[in-house]
Amino acid sequence: MVPHLITALTGPINELEQRIIDSMPATERWFRLEWMEHTPPFYTSVDIRNAGFKLAPVDTNLFPGGWNHLTPEMLPLAVQAAMAAIEKICPEARNLLIVPENHTRNSFYLSNLAQLQRIFNMAGLHVRIGSISPDVKKPLVMDLPNGESITLEPLLRERGRIGLKNFDPCTILLNNDLSAGVPGILEDLHAQYLLPPLHAGWSVRRKSKHFRSYEEVTKRFGKVLGIDPWLINPLFGKCSDVDLTSSTGLEQLQTQVDTLLGKIRRKYKEYGINEKPFVVVKADNGTHGMGVMTVRDAKELAALQPQTLASMAVSKDGQTVHDALIQEGVLTQERVHEAVAEPVVYMVDRYVVGGFYRIHADRGSDENLNAPGAGFVPLAFHHSTQLPQPGARPGASAPNRFYMYGVVARLAMLAASYELEATDPNAEVYD
């Protein structure tokens, strides 16, 4: 089933798609050279919004869940990329330990873990799952909706290494975004690879830093392609030390929102776009789609109820939000079965391995879709491939559309790579 692409026929995205397809060898070479200098995150997923007139990543996840939504057709690519990653980082590895989030009762999340276990097993590793959840005191066999089951075991620490009973892994795959901070059990590991590293977690990462890196990346890539980077870059501002429960904090936020809306308005005018600009306000460090607010006018903020502000101020795992990211809102013009849809692209190492559409029947094209009630539809290659087809009419080829998404997702991944280098506590300084 090829999702209906309602942006398929006209507008700047088709020009962008054409330019990206035409520049494929130059683009791929550009990425090759970047990856000579920079290390890609171990695995990444990127949420993309396609407004028809612009296309931008809105969230870059370095501990992606949702692997269970990749189709069986996509798995060989994921396995091959996992093999390449393992060969590069830890070829001698025999055992891999996955450290998951603590949602031990969420069967979607457990299916995600089962899929990760399958991918790395096929790549040639013994894979077991070690939970840091206080609920996991002994091995727990959890049944999955598809009839399979997985086993969660309590994580143990001994002589500076973590593992399970009778299982000493050389490599640890974190699938926990560390929103609650870094648990001591994961710190200062002795001679074990931790992938991704701890500073990729939300206790260190800031969205504003990511989008600052991304802006840099798009400026350089824009020159390669000869395009205005705005076509792939969401504008943003940052509001520091915001206390949304006080009126001072609110005023500061309103000013910032106003400024950003003004910038977007000028860009819309430049391109003759007749949409109403909006911004999205979210915590500068991670959440799972909670505390995300769509704002079309700074005045709306004054009218907000105290409980909305309070929910904004607290993110997943109860962390208080001090800094807010104000991001240019990017409409999503894609629809699958009439529901608003946004593509999510999955990568292992530097390779795009698959993706799907996140859809939400009850949300608008200017709203966050990563919310309860979301569904998932595999991306457009049921019987096809995700390889581009040079020569196809722009907008008419699902593989070409997906290739473009893959390019933008890789730009976001590259930005994350810069970001991780800049925040690496063990970085060597060559000044």
- Applying CB under 8 A, the residues found at the interface with a copy of itself are 24-25, 27-29, 31-33, 35-36, 72-73, 75-77, 79-81, 83-84, 86-87, 91-94, 121-126, 350-351, 383-388, 390
Cα-based distances in Å from 44 to 6, 83, 120, 215, 406: 27, 16, 15, 18, 12
Closer to a copy of itself by Cβ: residue 332 or 386: 386
Residue 308: CB atoms within 10 Å = 14
Which helix (DSSP H) or strand (DSSP E) does residue 31 occupy? helix 24-37
> In the bound complex, what is the minimum distance in angstroms from residue 392's beta carbon to a copy of itself?
13
Within 13 Å, how many C-alpha atoms sit on residue 381's CB side?
20
Closer to a copy of itself by Cβ: residue 28 or 270: 28
| C-alpha dihedral sign at 331, 334, 335, 339 | negative
> In the bound complex, what is the minimum distance in angstroms from residue 414's beta carbon to a copy of itself?
15
Cα 418 from chain centre: 15
Which helix (DSSP H) or strand (DSSP E) does residue 143 occupy? strand 140-143
Closer to a copy of itself by Cβ: residue 122 or 396: 122
Closer to a copy of itself by Cβ: residue 81 or 292: 81
- Residues 34 and 74: beta-carbon distance below 8 Å: no
> In the bound complex, what is the minimum distance in angstroms from residue 410's beta carbon to a copy of itself?
12
> In the bound complex, what is the minimum distance in angstroms from residue 94's beta carbon to a copy of itself?
6
> In the bound complex, what is the minimum distance in angstroms from residue 368's beta carbon to a copy of itself?
31
Closer to a copy of itself by Cβ: residue 77 or 174: 77
Query: Kind of pairing, strands 43-50 and 339-348?
Result: antiparallel
CA-wise closest residue to 57 among 426, 419, 422, 429: 419
> In the bound complex, what is the minimum distance in angstroms from residue 359's beta carbon to a copy of itself?
24
Report the C-alpha gap between 67 and 113 in whole angstroms. Answer: 8
Which helix (DSSP H) or strand (DSSP E) does residue 172 occupy? strand 171-175
The three-class DSSP label of residue 269 is helix
- Residues 45 and 64: beta-carbon distance below 8 Å: yes
> In the bound complex, what is the minimum distance in angstroms from residue 32's beta carbon to a copy of itself?
5
Q: Which residues, including other chains, have CB under 8 Å from residue 428's CB and lie 6 or more apart?
A: none
Closer to a copy of itself by Cβ: residue 192 or 333: 192
Closer to a copy of itself by Cβ: residue 25 or 425: 25
Closer to a copy of itself by Cβ: residue 76 or 181: 76
> In the bound complex, what is the minimum distance in angstroms from residue 348's beta carbon to a copy of itself?
10
